[in-house]
Amino acid sequence: MSTLLQINNLEMAYGTQIILHEANLSVSEKQKIAVVGRNGAGKSTLFRLIIGQEEPTEGEILVHKNTRIGYLTQHSPFRIKETVMEFLQRDSGRENWFCAKIAGQFQIKTDLFNVPVTSLAGGYQMRVKLIGMLAKEPNLLLLDEPTNYLDLSTQLLLEHFLKRYNGAFMLISHDREFIRKTCQQTLEIENGKIYLFPQSLEEYFQFKKQRQETIERTNQKTLQEKARLQTFIDRFGAKASKASQAKSKMRQIERLEIIETDSPLSTTKIRIPKLEDKKGVVLKIAELAIGYPEKTVATKINFQIDRGERIAVVGDNGQGKTTFLKTISGELEKVNGKFSWGHNIQVGYYAQHTPSTLQLTTRVGDYLIQTAPKGTSHQDIFEMAGNFLFKDDALKKEISVLSGGEKARLCLASILLQKNHVLLLDEPTNHLDFETVEALAEALSETNTTVIFVSHNRTFVENLATGIVEVKSGRASRYHHNYSDYVYHLRRTMEDELGITEKSSSPKSTEADSKNQAEEKRQQRKKISNQLRKIESTIKGLETEKHQINAWFEANPTNFDDQKSSRLGKIQDDLTQAENEWLELQQRLEELF
C-alpha cells in the first residue's frame, strides 16, 4: 500500500508547553486509525498541523502528491439561507447528481435539497457537512469528534459508511463503542509522544496494561538482584581476599538497568455524595405537552419514574429530548398537562448552555467553594475538581481563560458536589476523555441519585442506563427494552431503508455468543494464570537455592564441593527452562485478552 502521509520528528510547543515531541507517523492507504489521548494531549493540534492550519515548531509533515485530505470541521460552513444542494455544489464543486448520490448514503432525500441547511436539526446539518466533504472524493479523512451532538441514527449511518469506506481515515472520538465498530488500529498521544499500535483500541489498552505490568515485574527483579549484589559488597568489600569479587559485583550492578517509563497519568475515580436511600415514585407525568408558544413538540406524555432509576432520553435530534429536560427542570413552561416531583425532591440540572452562565472573573477553586453545599470540606471539593482535571495551578485560573470544554467540566464538577436527589444531564460527556466518561458512568451507577440524561455517547448510555424514554414523532414514552435492543432495532430500520441485505445479528444471540466466547477465554486465562503462578513459585525456589549455594561458595572460597558445583549448573539449566516456559505462557495469556 502506498503512503499517504509521513510525519518526521515533529515538534510542537506553545511557549514552554510541549504538545508533541519527536513525533513520527506514517499513514498508508485504507488504514482506519482511532486517535486517542487525554483532553489537551494534542489530538486536534495534530490534525491542524496536518492540514496546515498551524505550523510545527520543528520537523516535517509530508503529504503525498496523490493524497486528497478531507477534514471535518466543528464550525458551521453554511451561508445564510443557503439550501442543502446549494451548499453541496459550492463546497464540493461537483454536479448535483453526484452530490445527490452521496447524499443518499446519509438518508438526505430529494425533498430536503431545497431546504435551508441552517433550518435542519444538528444531526442533519452534520450529515450535510459529511456529504460535502465526501463529494470531494478524499482518500484520507481527518474526523475530529464527528459524533459530538450527533443523534444515534446519524451515528449509525456514519458508522455504516466508515466500515465500508475504501480510503484511510484518522478518527478522534471519546466513544469507545463507535471506535470499536469502525477502527482497526490505535494511535495514542500521551506525554508529547505518539504511538501507533496495529490493532484495535481494546487490544491496545490490554497490551499497554500487560506491558506496564511486565516492566514493573522486570524492574522489581532487577532491584532485588541489585540489592543482593550490594549486600555482598557491603559485607565483603572491605576484605582484601574479596576485593576482586566485590569489584566484579559492582560492575554487575552497573550493568543492571531499570527500564524507564513515562510517569503514569493519574487515574480518575469520581465519588458522588450518597443520599438517604428511599423508595417510591420520583416523577409523575400525566397528559403532558411540551414545546414553545409557536410550536408544540410532543403531546400526551404519560409515564412515571421511580427513585434510583437512570433513564436515558433518546431520539433523533430535533425531536424534543432537550425540550423535555428543560420542561421537567422548570426552565421551560409546559404547554399543557402536568408533571410533579416527589416530596422534598431537590433537582440539579446540567444544560448545554450552563457553561455560558459562569461569572468569568471568578477563579475555578473559588467557584467550586461558592457553589458547594454548606459544610462540604475543602478536601471533597478539591478531590472532585481533580476528577475533572482541575488541579494545582488550574484551580487558580480565572474562568475567563478556560476553554469551552473546561467550562463544561467545571459545571459538572459543581453539580456533582451538590446533594441532589435527581440529576438532569443534557450531553454531559461531550468534552470528556475515555477515562473520565467511564468514571462518571461508574460513579452515577453507584449512587442512589435518580439520573435522567441525554447523551450521544453509546458507551456512556450502555454503562449507565437502566431505562429508556424515547422522544419520537411528537410523543415521549417509556421504551420497554434495554439500550442494546434499542440500538439493534434502530440499526435494522436504517439497513432496511438503505436496502442493505447484510443483517446484524440479534442482540440476544450476539450477547450469548459473546458471553460463551468470553467464558471460554476466561477459563483459558485462569488455567494459564495458575500455570504461571506455579512456574513463578518454581523460579523463586530455584533462585533461593542458587543464592544459598553461591553464598556457601563465597563463605568458603578455598573449599571445593563437586556436588554443590554440579547442582549449581543444574539449577541454572532449570531456571533457563522455567523462564522460557513463563515467557511462552505470558505471551499466550496476552493473546487471550
Domain harbouring 307, CATH code: 3.40.50.300
Same structural domain, 251 and 308: no
One domain for residues 567 and 441: no
- How many beta carbons lie within 10 A of that of residue 383, not counting itself? 15
Number of Cβ atoms within 10 Å of the Cβ of 90: 13
Residue-wise DSSP of 212-268: HHHHHHHHHHHHHHHHHHHHHHHHHTTSGGGHHHHHHHHHHHHH--PPP-PPPPPPP
How many CA atoms lie within 13 Å of 129's alpha carbon, on the beta-carbon side?
25
Which of 163, 178, 204 represents a domain boundary (last residue)?
204
Residues in contact with 501: Cβ distance below 8 Å, sequence separation at least 6, in sequence order = none
Q: In this structure, is residue 418 part of a structural domain?
A: yes
| Count of C-beta atoms within a 10 Å radius of residue 172 | 24
Domain assignment of residue 33, yes or no: yes
Assess whether 108 and 184 both reside in one domain: yes
Cβ–Cβ under 8 Å, residues 198 and 183: no
Q: Tens-digit pLDDT profile for the chain (593 aa)?
A: 689 999 999 999 888 778 898 899 999 999 999 998 877 788 889 999 999 999 999 999 999 999 999 998 767 789 989 999 999 999 999 888 899 888 888 888 888 999 999 988 777 888 899 899 999 999 999 998 888 777 888 888 889 889 989 999 999 988 888 998 999 999 998 888 888 888 888 887 777 777 667 777 777 887 887 787 787 677 666 555 556 666 777 777 777 776 655 544 445 678 887 788 888 999 999 999 999 988 999 999 999 999 999 999 999 888 899 999 999 999 999 999 999 999 889 999 998 878 888 889 999 999 999 999 888 899 989 988 988 888 888 899 999 888 777 888 899 999 999 889 999 999 888 777 777 888 899 999 988 899 999 998 888 999 899 999 999 999 999 987 888 888 888 888 887 776 665 544 455 555 556 556 666 777 787 788 788 788 878 888 888 888 888 888 888 877 778 888 888 888 888 888 887 787 677 667 656 65
How far apart CA 81 and CA 84 sit, in angstroms, is 10
Residue 411 and residue 530 in one domain? no
Statement to judge: residues 97 and 148 lie in one domain: yes
Q: How far apart are CA 250 and CA 231, in angstroms?
A: 11
Q: Are residues 474 and 558 in the same domain?
A: no
**496 and 532 assigned to the same domain:** no
Whose CA is closest to 469, among 487, 485, 481? 481
Other C-beta atoms within 10 Å of 466: how many? 14
Whether residues 463 and 513 fall in one domain: no
On whether both 486 and 517 belong to a single domain, the answer is: no
Q: Domain span at residue 373?
A: 283-508
Q: What are the strands, taking DSSP E only, across 240-383?
A: 281-292, 295-306, 310-314, 336-341, 347-350
Residue 8: alpha-carbon gap to chain centroid:
27
Domain termination residue (choose one: 508, 528, 553)? 508
Q: Does residue 234 share a domain with residue 298?
A: no
Residue 135's closest CA among 181, 183, 84?
84
Whether residue 380 lies inside any domain: the answer is: yes
338 in a structural domain: yes
Residue 266 belongs to some domain of the structure? no
Give the Cβ contact number of residue 177 at 10 Å. 19
Record the cell numbers describing residue 233, joined without a space: 559488597
Q: Which positions ≥6 away from 89 have C-beta within 8 Å?
A: 95, 96, 99
b vs e for 492-519, b when ≥16 Cβ sit within 10 Å of the residue's Cβ?
eebbeeeeeeeeeeebeeeeeeeeeeee
Q: Tell me the residue type at 239.
A: K
Q: Counting every residue, how long is the chain?
A: 593
Task: Name the domain count of the chain.
Answer: 4
Residue listed under C-alpha cell 518454581: 538
Buried b (16+ CB within 10 A) or exposed e, 49-75: bbeeeeebeebebebbeebebbbbeee
The whole model's pTM is what? 0.69
Residue at 273 is within a domain: no
In this structure, are 98 and 226 located in the same domain?
A: no
Instruction: Based on the fold, state whether residues 200 and 223 are members of the same structural domain.
Output: no
The DSSP element (H or E) to which 527 belongs, if any, is: helix 507-555
Residue 269 forms part of a structural domain: no
Q: Are 329 and 349 in contact (CB under 8 A)?
A: yes
* Residue 267, domain member (yes or no): no
Phi first, then psi: give them for residue 145, nearest 5 degrees: 50, 55
